[in-house]
Structure 1
Amino acid sequence: MRLCLRLMFAALGLLALPVQAAPPPLALEGWEYRWGDSPPGPDGSPAWLTEASGWQAIDFPSNPPGRQGQQHAWFRTTLPDGEWRDPVLYITSIDLIGQLYLDGELLYQYGEFDADGRGDFAGWPWHMVELPEDFADRTLHLRIFSYYTDIGLWGEVQLMDRIDGLNGVIQGSAKALAVGAFCLLLAVLALLFALLGEQRRGFIGIALFASASGLMLLAEAPARQLLLERALWWDTLRAASYFTLPVAMGLLLAHWLEGTAARWMRWLWRLHLAYLAGALTLVQAGAISLSLTFPAFDALLAITLPLMLLLALWQASRLGMEQRLVVASFVLFAPLLLVDMLVAHGFVSWRSIPLSSGALGFALAIAGISLWDYRRTQQRLAELNRSLERQVAERTAELDRMVETLEGYSYQDALTGLKNRRYFDELLAHESRRADREREPLSLVLMDLDHFKQVNDRHGHEAGDQVLRQFATLLQAHFRDSDVVCRLGGEEFVALLPGADPADAAARAAAVTRAVGQHVFLWGDKPLESVTLSCGVASYPAHTAEPLALVGLADHALYCAKRSGRNHSVTWSPDAEGDDSRVAALG
């Protein structure tokens, strides 16, 4: 739980401005499958991990053709190459349990397999599988067991940086969490109206629908795992709230409809209430799996929801204005619920359905209509309505303050588009550990524009900003894709060069120094006076046994470059500490 909270707060810093990752997340392709479960090989591991024959191509590792009651399936693909710094495999969901093997070695397991290769449903969380650095061109095998209607993976299966995965989880949850929280607030207020007023049944229906919608959205939001890593608990909450939706909708429509339509609507919501109670009772008693209650419920909903629509439309012409608005809001929300159900069971290709917007719209429409009708006879609730507006305003202001706070955590320099000092500090620590662990060279070039203050003094700060932006573009063109260029502040920049020895780093520093001296910087259409650059170069392990010391060494070399005339680069020498005359210069 403590680890989840740390991950959550780390990822929240990326909500406003996501980290730019190179390369971006990549969906896996080239899948193959085969039905059944692998027999053990001579060494006890699954024999299919080494068998090349018997596999068939498939676009996505889910629901291969010809299942015919099969509960075991294997999938495989070859992982592509990429430059991810902290690579993970992100999987939206597994139906139902599975094992992941990389080149024959067990990499990840979700759920418990018995001796027969079977297991129980453990929930539908997302998975972020850590990959080794040498994952490229290695074979990934998936062993899946499922007695559910679907078998395999569901949603997205992508290679990405871990930080991009966490960022996606937070961004993908923001709307659902906000709408869910608002629905729960609406449920509390509707319950208060039910306790204070006469039209209790209508407001109880609103409270039931809003609470069910809010809890369902919270239980489905990917960020739930960052709050509590109990997938089965979340899916039980999701089932209870999801199964309650038609009960609440039927209760609301029965309140607004009349005659035969109202009586049939009551029968329908009572049928769903019986299913809700029976299904959850059987699950808690261990008689059935929670996963199997979803397809049975969806089959029931596929029949009752169109019936609810027909009953509502049947009386639409005889209803009053308020009742017609209730029917219209239901007609808009019900198809979203049906499409979401079709996507969940693979009848429609995976896509994001704006169910949260539909639930919020339906809840707000019903609440607005009920308040409109209620206010005509219950003027004493006006103060409570103003209280609601104040609470919404306060929450909006709080959200605005949170967004402003999160914007301060950006890893990007707003002026130049380069990475900023915060990103550089974290990257240096990471690359230092990697270089020390793998005994690979790591070089650092510290750069400072000479007499930059004169540009600001003569032409103004806007001209200075333009020079900094042009200089940033020039830096990006002169360093390798694997090099990272950051702006530390003012006119001071730094480049971190993984794998570069002192000669390579010095050559690149000299090249960029010459390029700056030859470049014509413009302010609008007007060329500015010549701008020059001074550089300090330091390298691990040639100059120091501690990679984190590179900044201080490069700064010392830059100081020497400034003292010795500027407009050139200086490489730090082990003999130069305290003696500037013994520093070797390039350029």
Structure 2
Amino acid sequence: MRRPPLSLCCALLWLLSAALTPQAQASVKPLEAGWEYRWGDSPRLADGTPAWTRPGTDEAAWQPIAFPSNPPDRRDRQHVWFRVPLPDGAWRDPVVYIYSVDLIVEAYLDGERIYRHGTFDAEGKGRFAGWPWHMLELPEDFAGQALYFRIFSDYSDIGLWGEVKLMERAELLGYVIEHSAADLVISGVCLLLALLAGSFALIQANRHSFAATALFSLATGTMILAETQASQLLLAAPLLWDTLAAAGYFTLPIAIGLLLEHWFEDTRRQLIRRIWQLHLGYLVLAIGAASLGWINLSSTFPVFDALLVVNLTLLLAIIAPRLRQLDRGQKAILATYALFGLLLLGDMAVAHGLVPWTRVPVSAGALAFALAIVGISLADYARTQQALKRLNQRLEQEVAERTAQLQRLVKRLEVFSYTDTLTGLHNRRYFDELLEHDAAQAKRHGRALTLIMIDIDHFKHFNDDFGHEAGDTVLAGVASCLAQHFREADVVCRLGGEEFAVLLSDADADAARGRVDALMARLAGTVYHYREATLGPISVSCGIASYPFHADDPLALIGLADKALYAAKHGGRARSHVYA
């Protein structure tokens, strides 16, 4: 069953715990291949299990699809099933991440329901429950099984939306925080602007400009905060967040109309007023009806989108003939509003599937427009310019501090992602990136590059005879010995399990073999202890390959050194072998 979403504090604690705990090496795997769908809802077996989750049940009805969203020939259908095979891999705490689903969903693995969003009634239908991101927990033996999705939607779209990825839970939480950082900062900026502008609206004689600024900033700040993925970590209430996002989104044209109507004194003023009053009526009716349960909140977005496109076009037609009469500040506001409007239209096109899915930086346009409004307001009220300047400086400082804090968090996550937590050495991810870099440098400058693959002999016996904690002691001890033995310029990495790699720049195979022989002698005289047991002596097998002596391409060293390692182990272990 679904685990309740974590709070932000719990998420940070989980990230720290995951970083300090040894885990299998894994990488993010988008689930892109093998998707299939079939229309309708599955009948139930005697035990209540959906029949379609059992392999071999009417297999011919399943049809391939590139991405599990909006299959062809929908007509008025509201039920659809999708399935995808799950790949192999070494995972510690695997989850499936889904950006969003239209509208409610159940997930099944091996005939058992492992996740549900929304409530299905006896007819397989249900009400809209929000558009959160989803995290599906997988068991350890998921590899090779098919993951099934049961979906109901009476919305214009049906199916999964955005991204579908297989990853570690800790990686997912880091991914969400990383992609929410900028929006959280911009939301904070907009909400602070709303507070400042609202305060000035209370003390100024001519209040309309500051009031419009406050309303726009409040609407954008609320919308961005509600739509950012990190909001789900703050409070696990997706329908509430979507209601707040809708309220902010529907308020935007009202705030724009309040600002623009005071720029004109002729009939244009009346037309602009009628536009924002129309949107005010829609805001009240849509949010009110959805809150009372008369309609689904999801159904209010397509109507508003169509209304917004029409009224944006109408506003452009109203303002264009008088564009030359506007001052620089007003033109700047219109320019940023045009940018913000284009970003909204782009996001709208993505939401309705008119263009491929991508993250549209709507928040950047909102921030630019909010700052432009502040600028024109400062120009209109010269008497308060100095006071607003000091407040704006304080705002910029707070933004910089928050950005720096978030950047530090991202850097910490990056450090964790490149470090093996058990041994303190660099991990496989770091090794792969470093090899690509050093290979390019070696080819460009004609330098030697040598790779040593090292494997602890009979490591399984330590785990079997003394337990995995004893094995960890051996791994940590050998890692420490490797780090001390090789040069500071050499890079030692743990590739996984009991296998290590050392990358030596400007060193040939003979030099590498000399260092390996010294290492073996050092290890032969080293004994490790675990509780009252003596572990050792330790021996290792090593494979050596060097560029350009053994390969024309430095990237081929992995395969060659691995073959040399195999030859060393096949030859009796406790020895090194140079590729030949």
Q: 1:374 corresponds to which residue?
A: 381
1:44–1:298 CA distance, 2 compared to 1 (3 A): same
Q: 2:285 corresponds to which residue?
A: 278
1:282–1:352 CA distance, 2 compared to 1 (3 A): same
Distance 2:483 2:349 in 1: 62
Q: 1:141 corresponds to which residue?
A: 148
Q: SS in structure 2 opposite 1:447?
A: helix
Of 39, 51, 54, 2:43 maps to 39
Render the CA deviation track for 1:245-296: whole Å, top value 9, x for unaligned: 1111122222234423322111111100000011111122221111111112
Q: 2:251 corresponds to which residue?
A: 244
Q: SS in structure 1 opposite 2:60?
A: coil
Code of the aligned partner of 1:392: E
Mind listing any 5+ residue stretches in structure 1 that lack a counterpart? 425-431, 456-463, 484-495, 498-507, 544-548, 562-567, 571-584
Q: 1:365 corresponds to which residue?
A: 372
Of 186, 189, 193, 1:182 maps to 189
Distance 1:64 1:2 in 2: 30
- Decide whether the 8 Å contact of 2:197 with 2:211 is kept in 1: yes
Shift of 1:162: 1.1
1:126–1:452 CA distance, 2 compared to 1 (3 A): closer
Distance 1:323 1:73 in 2: 50
Q: Within 5 A, what are the aligned runs for 1:548-559?
A: none
Q: SS in structure 2 opposite 1:53?
A: helix
Render the CA deviation track for 1:464-519: whole Å, top value 9, x for unaligned: 8xx234141xx55xxxx532xxxxxxxxxxxx57xxxxxxxxxx99x99xxx9976
- Decide whether the 8 Å contact of 2:220 with 2:248 is kept in 1: yes
Larger CA deviation: 189-198 vs 343-352: 189-198
**2:328 is aligned with 1:314:** no
- Decide whether the 8 Å contact of 1:27 with 1:158 is kept in 2: yes
- Decide whether the 8 Å contact of 1:12 with 1:406 is kept in 2: no
Distance 2:519 2:7 in 1: 49
Of 2, 7, 11, 1:8 maps to 11
1:317–1:83 CA distance, 2 compared to 1 (3 A): same
Shift of 1:227: 0.8
Distance 1:447 1:115 in 2: 60
- With normalisation by structure 1, the TM-score equals 0.74
Q: SS in structure 2 opposite 1:73?
A: strand
Code of the aligned partner of 1:9: L
1:12–1:309 CA distance, 2 compared to 1 (3 A): farther
Distance 2:265 2:333 in 1: 13
Q: 1:345 corresponds to which residue?
A: 352
**2:79 is aligned with 1:79:** no
Of 453, 468, 478, 1:447 maps to 478
Q: 1:171 corresponds to which residue?
A: 178
Distance 1:99 1:452 in 2: 49
Shift of 1:34: 1.4
Q: Within 5 A, what are the aligned runs for 1:217-232?
A: 217-232=224-239
Q: SS in structure 1 opposite 2:80?
A: strand
Mind listing any 5+ residue stretches in structure 2 that lack a counterpart? 426-459, 542-572, 576-580
Of 57, 61, 64, 1:57 maps to 64
Q: Percent identity?
A: 43
Q: 1:92 corresponds to which residue?
A: 99
Larger CA deviation: 187-196 vs 383-392: 383-392
Q: SS in structure 2 opposite 1:219?
A: helix
Of 490, 501, 525, 1:470 maps to 490
Code of the aligned partner of 1:22: A
C-alpha RMSD over aligned residues: 4.0
Distance 1:116 1:126 in 2: 25
Distance 1:308 1:536 in 2: 82
Q: SS in structure 1 opposite 2:7?
A: helix
1:127–1:469 CA distance, 2 compared to 1 (3 A): farther
1:54–1:521 CA distance, 2 compared to 1 (3 A): closer
**2:521 is aligned with 1:520:** no
- Decide whether the 8 Å contact of 1:517 with 1:531 is kept in 2: no
1:536–1:38 CA distance, 2 compared to 1 (3 A): farther
Distance 1:350 1:70 in 2: 23
**2:216 is aligned with 1:206:** no
Q: SS in structure 1 opposite 2:99?
A: strand
Q: Alignment length, in residue pairs? A: 492
1:3–1:93 CA distance, 2 compared to 1 (3 A): closer
Q: 1:482 corresponds to which residue?
A: 496
Distance 1:288 1:423 in 2: 56
Distance 2:478 2:263 in 1: 72
- Decide whether the 8 Å contact of 2:37 with 2:82 is kept in 1: yes
Distance 2:409 2:161 in 1: 35
Distance 2:516 2:112 in 1: 62
- Decide whether the 8 Å contact of 2:181 with 2:406 is kept in 1: no
- Decide whether the 8 Å contact of 1:243 with 1:297 is kept in 2: yes
Render the CA deviation track for 1:316-340: whole Å, top value 9, x for unaligned: 1232323222222222211111111
- Decide whether the 8 Å contact of 2:5 with 2:233 is kept in 1: no
Of 92, 97, 106, 2:113 maps to 106
Q: Within 5 A, what are the aligned runs for 1:492-531?
A: 520=511
**2:426 is aligned with 1:419:** no
Q: SS in structure 1 opposite 2:496?
A: coil
Q: SS in structure 2 opposite 1:142?
A: strand
Code of the aligned partner of 2:261: A
- Decide whether the 8 Å contact of 1:34 with 1:56 is kept in 2: yes
Shift of 1:68: 1.1
Q: SS in structure 2 opposite 1:82?
A: coil
Q: 1:503 corresponds to which residue?
A: none
Distance 2:76 2:120 in 1: 19
Distance 2:362 2:340 in 1: 8
